[in-house]
């Protein structure tokens, strides 16, 4: 009934449960099971088959949603319509047995086909974007959780390291306090020497201001350390009886000033110590 060539618009358009109109095309195949009922109980049994098929189909479609009719529910609608149609024909004693009902086509009306296609495309795009977003979330969330876990572990390690250093400093201060209470002068001297050693170990030049003479002394520590090294060449004795040339005198003057500056620094250090 209502195939592409013999389509009847009034029969093809049906209303769904969600108040949408669908265009259905289906065909019915039937056999005679009782010739007597077929000939004598109905004036036009073939017309009765068409009306029963339309009635059954409208009832099933009217209880279904539009998407169910157009897509996943075609087979189920055909089975339910066949059963209902057979019940109607048996009630009218048509002598006809419905063998098969075929759903040939189900689509929106031609007047709204373009709008419906746009709506279907929008729904497909929505599902695609949802899938892409879910895939992105599945990729990003585990990475973010891994980074968060790593940062948490690093923070915990940093916490333990800082606490351990603080506890060590507190314990060392307590030990120094005990020693200071026993010998304050010696402890102060030791702390001063340790601090000066730590400061001067990373310094290559020291400027010393002499309070008494008002002279600014310059100590090249890097050169002094080189001269104090075991493999350094020995300095010449300025009092040795060797003939001095005019050119050698200026060369000996910087070394003599170097030792004088070093001796002045030691004298000043001893005077300033408590």
pLDDT digits (tens, 9 = 90+) for 133-187: 999 999 999 999 999 999 999 999 999 999 999 999 899 888 888 888 888 888 8
Please report which confidence band the pLDDT of residue 266 belongs to, taking 50, 70 and 90 as the band edges: low
CA distance 57 to 78: 8
What local confidence, expressed as pLDDT, does residue 87 receive? Answer: 92
Identify the pLDDT of residue 250: 45
Q: Do 62 and 127 touch, CB atoms closer than 8 A?
A: no
Co-location of 126 and 164 in the same domain? yes
Which domain-ending residue is among 93, 108, 123? Answer: 108
Asked whether residue 238 is domain-assigned, the answer is no
**Is 251 within a domain?**
no
Give residue 24's pLDDT band: very low, low, confident or very high (50, 70, 90): confident
Q: Domain of 146?
A: 111-174
14/103 same-domain check:
yes
Where residue 69 sits, what CATH number does that domain have?
A: 3.30.479.30
Which tens digit of pLDDT belongs to each residue from 70-123?
A: 888 888 999 999 999 999 999 988 899 999 888 888 888 888 888 888 888 898
Q: What is the CA angle 58-53-107, rounded to 5?
A: 50
Condensed to tens digits (0 to 9), the pLDDT of residues 109-137 reads 888 888 888 888 898 899 999 999 999 99
Rounded distance between C-alpha atoms, residue 196 and residue 208, angstroms? 14
Domain match, 87 and 128 both: no
189 pLDDT tier (thresholds 50, 70, 90): confident
The larger pLDDT score, comparing residue 59 to residue 213, is at 59
Q: Whole-angstrom Cα distance, residue 161 to residue 72?
A: 64
Candidates 82, 7, 90, 77; CA nearest to 48 is 90
Per-residue pLDDT, averaged over 204-224, amounts to: 65
> Is 163 in the same domain as 125?
yes
Q: Do 148 and 123 lie in a common domain?
A: yes
CB-CB contact of 55 with 88 (8 Å): yes
Question: Percent of the chain scored above 70 by pLDDT?
Answer: 72
Angstrom distance (rounded) from CA 140 to CA 12 = 51
Sign of the torsion formed by the C-alpha atoms of 167, 172, 173 and 179: positive
- pLDDT for res 241: 41
Task: With a cut of 50, say whether residue 5 has pLDDT above it.
Answer: no
Tell me: do 104 and 116 sit in the same domain.
no
Distance between first and last Cα of the chain: 121
Q: Is residue 3 part of a domain?
A: no
In a domain, 246, yes or no: no
User: In the chain, how many domains are there?
Assistant: 3
With b meaning 16 or more CB within 10 Å and e meaning fewer, what string describes 14-39?
Answer: bebeeebebbbbbebebeeeeeebbe
Question: What percentage of the chain exceeds 90 in pLDDT?
Answer: 28
Residues 73 and 53 in one domain: yes
Ramachandran category for residue 234: left, alpha or beta (phi over 0 → left; psi -120 to 50 → alpha): beta
Same domain, 104 and 115: no
pLDDT, position 3: 43
Which class for 139: exposed (0-12), middle (13-18), buried (19 or more C-beta within 10 A)?
exposed
- Comparison of pLDDT for 203 and 68, the residue scoring more: 68
d(CA 62, CA 20): 10
Q: Report the distance separating Cα 155 and Cα 188, nearest Å.
A: 38
Question: Of 82, 108, 134, which marks where a domain is finished?
Answer: 108
Rounded Cα distance between 69 and 77, Å, is 7
Q: Which of 90, 108, 126 marks a domain boundary? A: 108
Shared domain check, 18 and 67: yes
Contact between residue 77 and residue 69 where contact means Cβ atoms under 8 Å apart: yes
Residues 115 and 59 in one domain: no
119 with 147, same domain: the answer is: yes
Domain annotation covers residue 249: no
Q: 81 and 129: one domain?
A: no
């Amino acid at each position: 009934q209502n195939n592409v060539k013999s389509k009847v618009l009034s029969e093809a358009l049906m209303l769904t449960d969600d108040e949408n109109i669908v265009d259905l095309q289906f065909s019915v195949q039937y056999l005679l099971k009782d010739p007597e009922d077929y000939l004598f109980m109905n004036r036009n049994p073939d017309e009765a088959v068409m009306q029963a098929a339309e009635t059954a189909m409208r009832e099933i479609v009217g209880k279904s949603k539009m998407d169910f009719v157009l897509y996943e529910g075609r087979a189920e609608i055909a089975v339910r319509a066949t059963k209902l149609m057979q019940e109607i024909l048996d009630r009218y004693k048509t002598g006809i047995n419905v063998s098969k009902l075929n759903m040939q086509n189900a689509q929106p009306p031609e007047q709204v086909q373009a709008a419906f296609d746009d709506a279907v495309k929008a729904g497909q795009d929505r599902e695609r974007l949802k899938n892409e977003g879910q895939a992105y979330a599945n990729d990003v969330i585990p990475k973010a959780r891994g980074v968060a876990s790593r940062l948490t572990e690093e923070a915990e390690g940093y916490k333990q390291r800082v606490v351990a250093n603080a506890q060590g400093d507190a314990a060392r201060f307590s030990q120094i306090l005990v020693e200071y209470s026993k010998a304050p002068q010696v402890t102060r001297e030791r702390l001063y020497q340790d601090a000066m050693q730590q400061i001067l170990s990373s310094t290559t030049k020291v400027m010393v201001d002499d309070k008494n003479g008002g002279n600014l002394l310059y100590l090249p520590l890097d050169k002094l350390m080189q001269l104090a090294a075991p493999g350094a060449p020995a300095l010449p004795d300025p009092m040795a009886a060797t003939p001095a040339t005019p050119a050698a005198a200026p060369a000996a003057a910087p070394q003599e000033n170097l030792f004088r500056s070093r001796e002045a620094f030691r004298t000043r250090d001893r005077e300033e110590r408590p």
